[in-house]
């Protein structure tokens, strides 16, 4: 066997730059700083008919991280479809997508004939453009791992902000006589509640939910839960209309809770959701900065950077 017959292993190009769109410049700067990389901003120009022209920094090289959180996703998906191949044309050898909020993950099966399984198709679309994808707390119901959503060879990593939220909550209640009770508004939130509670040994439980529509939910507190005089923090992966959290907050107050706060990874808060939560008696609302919002209190750039370095 000669040297020419031996398998060759191409070195993985090093991380060289973070790209972010102008509306996400603050998180882009935080991620770039955490990675020790320069930040380049992608500029957008909108034509009168609504089309976008994107301008990327040039030239590019090595492994490039593209930051884009996909709340209000439709236009942002088009941006990714334009910016990803453009980055490769400008010299990027490898593209990693840091998407703190990953959209279209709810619909993982077809409940009725003709329903599109958006999770599968959006996952395939993104996997076809990027060599690796990192996100936080994707809204997966019947899927155990993000690898099932993103076809190989794209490497997909799902992180959770639950530990960071739990740490923050414990700090906010550090002077309380009793530790706060972390309460999930439904069974799906159990995984986040348990993980957030584990770092400081906080008591935790979760409710049972029946959903009859986007804004019609019924929530039941777990049997035997004593909330009299307790500080309760409702914890979930996301808040959209806020109706599940509102129903849970009302039940907590009816059961004697002294205060109710809310902590979520993704602060979508569509329409009057935040105002409705406050009207229901919720004292404070905290969120990670995966989705830009006035409630942002927990940064995730460090968590993203740790995993991106491992790529």
Residue 25, token pair as written in the block: 């410049």
Residue from 209, 243, 266, 293 carrying the catalytic annotation: 209
The Cα 308–Cα 297 span in angstroms is: 22
**Cβ contact 125:99 at 8 Å:** no
pLDDT digits (tens, 9 = 90+) for 211-237: 655 556 678 998 889 999 999 999 999
Residue 107, pLDDT score: 80
Sign of CA dihedral 208, 217, 101, 121: positive
Q: What's the mean per-residue pLDDT of the chain?
A: 92
> What does the domain layout of the chain look like in residue ranges?
3-160+299-310, 162-289
In this prediction, residue 146 has a pLDDT band, given cuts at 50, 70 and 90, of: confident
Residue 57 in tokens: 């920094």
pLDDT tens for 20-39 read 999 999 999 999 999 999 99
Q: pLDDT by residue (tens digit) across 79-94?
A: 999 999 999 999 999 9
Question: Averaged over 172-189, what is the pLDDT?
Answer: 91
pLDDT (0 to 100) of residue 19: 98
Q: Do 3-160+299-310 and 162-289 agree at the fold level?
A: yes
CATH number of 162-289: 3.40.50.2020
Q: Which of 141, 158, 173 lies closest to 265, judged by CA?
A: 158
Q: Average the pLDDT over 277-303 and give the result.
A: 97
E-assigned strands of 47-120?
Answer: 52-55, 63-67, 94-99
**Alpha carbon distance 253, 238 (integer Å):** 22
CATH of 3-160+299-310, one of 3.40.50.2020, 2.102.10.10, 1.10.10.10, 2.30.36.70: 3.40.50.2020
Give catalytic status of residue 209 as yes or no: yes
Task: Work out the burial of residue 2: count CB atoms within 10 Å of its CB; fewer than 13 is exposed, 13-18 middle, 19 or more buried.
Answer: exposed
């Amino acid at each position: 066997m000669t040297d020419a017959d031996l398998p060759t292993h191409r070195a993985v190009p090093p991380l060289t730059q973070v790209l972010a769109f102008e509306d996400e410049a603050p998180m882009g700067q935080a991620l770039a700083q955490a990675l020790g990389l320069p930040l380049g901003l992608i500029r957008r120009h909108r034509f009168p008919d609504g089309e976008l022209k994107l301008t990327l920094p040039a030239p590019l090289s090595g492994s490039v991280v593209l930051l884009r959180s996909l709340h209000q996703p439709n236009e942002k998906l088009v941006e990714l479809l334009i910016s990803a191949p453009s980055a490769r044309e400008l010299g990027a050898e490898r593209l990693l997508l840091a998407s703190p909020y990953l959209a279209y993950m709810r619909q993982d099966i077809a409940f009725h004939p003709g329903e599109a399984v958006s999770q599968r198709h959006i996952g395939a679309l993104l996997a076809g453009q990027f060599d690796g994808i990192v996100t936080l707390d994707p809204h997966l119901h019947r899927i155990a791992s993000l690898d099932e959503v993103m076809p190989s060879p794209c490497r997909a990593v799902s992180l959770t902000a639950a530990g960071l939220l739990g740490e923050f909550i414990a700090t906010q209640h550090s002077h309380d006589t009793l530790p706060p009770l972390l309460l999930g508004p439904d069974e799906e939130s159990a995984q986040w509640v348990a993980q957030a509670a584990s770092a400081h040994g906080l008591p935790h439980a979760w409710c049972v939910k029946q959903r009859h529509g986007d804004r019609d939910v019924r929530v039941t507190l777990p049997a035997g839960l004593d909330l009299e005089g307790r500080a309760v923090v409702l914890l979930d992966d996301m808040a959209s209309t806020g109706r599940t959290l509102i129903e849970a907050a009302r039940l907590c107050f009816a059961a004697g809770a002294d205060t109710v706060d809310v902590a979520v990874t993704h602060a979508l808060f569509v329409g009057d959701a935040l105002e409705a939560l406050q009207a229901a008696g919720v004292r404070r609302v905290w969120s990670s900065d995966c989705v830009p919002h006035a409630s942002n209190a927990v940064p995730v750039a460090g968590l993203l950077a740790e995993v991106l370095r491992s790529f």
